[in-house]
């Protein structure tokens, strides 16, 4: 939504996992919010701390808002929750709708469809976000491997 909690955490975890895979250097990732609340700001300090505790540094990221070029540049446009998914579809060019998915679709073993927003909660929420995006990052990497091998 504002690109300071879930999305930068997901980007950082994905990039960390990607760097440890044979896909390193072949895939570009970025995160963006559907709203302009925090443009240019660093991720929430709680998100930075939680990620750093797991060896992922997201401190260099800066919030930005999704723009139309993202739908052309990226093969995957991933939303953390249904509200952001709907917002993305509302601005998505006609031919790119299939690129928009919920991030947790890449963690099929989970019963959750949405990554909960930890912003108004305590530190446990940021740990839960990390748990969820780690699972989805692994599934996303597998999906990319499969696409590249076909």
Is residue 150, in this structure, part of any structural domain at all? Answer: no
Residue 14 located in a structural domain:
yes
| pLDDT score recorded for residue 33 | 97
- Residues 26-78: pLDDT tens digits? 999 999 999 999 999 999 999 999 999 999 999 999 999 999 999 999 999 99
Sign of the alpha-carbon torsion through 130, 136, 141, 144: negative
In a domain, 145, yes or no: no
**Secondary structure letter of residue 107 according to DSSP:** -
Q: Where residue 103 falls among pLDDT bands split at 50, 70, 90?
A: very high
Q: What are phi and psi of 33, to 5 degrees?
A: -100, 160
Confidence of residue 89 (pLDDT cuts 50, 70, 90): very high
Q: Give the span between the Cα atoms of 95 and 90, in whole angstroms.
A: 13
* Structural domain boundaries enclosing 120: 6-139
Inside any domain, residue 149: no
31 burial (CB, 10 Å; 0-12 / 13-18 / 19+) is: buried
- pLDDT of 8 strictly over 90: yes
Report whether pLDDT(122) > 90.
no
Residue 144 counted as domain residue: no
Give the number of domains in the chain.
Answer: 1
Average pLDDT, the chain: 96
How far out from the chain centre does Cα 125 lie?
Answer: 16
**Structural domain contains residue 146:** no
Give 101's pLDDT tier (boundaries 50, 70, 90).
very high
Is position 15 within any domain?
yes
Q: Would 101 be classed as within a structural domain?
A: yes
The domain spanning residue 69 has which CATH number?
Answer: 3.40.50.2300
Identify the pLDDT of residue 150.
Answer: 85
């Amino acid at each position: 939504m504002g690109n300071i909690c879930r999305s930068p955490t997901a980007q950082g975890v994905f990039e960390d996992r990607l760097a440890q895979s044979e896909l390193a250097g072949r895939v570009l990732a970025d995160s963006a919010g559907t709203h302009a609340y925090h443009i240019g700001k660093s991720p929430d300090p709680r998100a930075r701390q939680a990620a750093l505790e797991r060896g992922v540094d997201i401190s260099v990221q800066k919030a930005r808002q999704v723009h139309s070029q993202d739908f052309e540049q990226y093969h995957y446009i991933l939303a953390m929750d249904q509200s952001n998914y709907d917002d993305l579809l509302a601005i998505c060019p006609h031919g790119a709708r299939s690129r928009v998915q919920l991030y947790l679709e890449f963690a099929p073993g989970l019963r959750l469809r949405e990554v909960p927003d930890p912003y108004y909660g305590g530190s446990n929420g940021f740990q839960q976000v990390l748990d969820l995006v780690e699972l989805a990052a692994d599934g996303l990497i597998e999906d990319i491997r499969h696409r590249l091998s076909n």
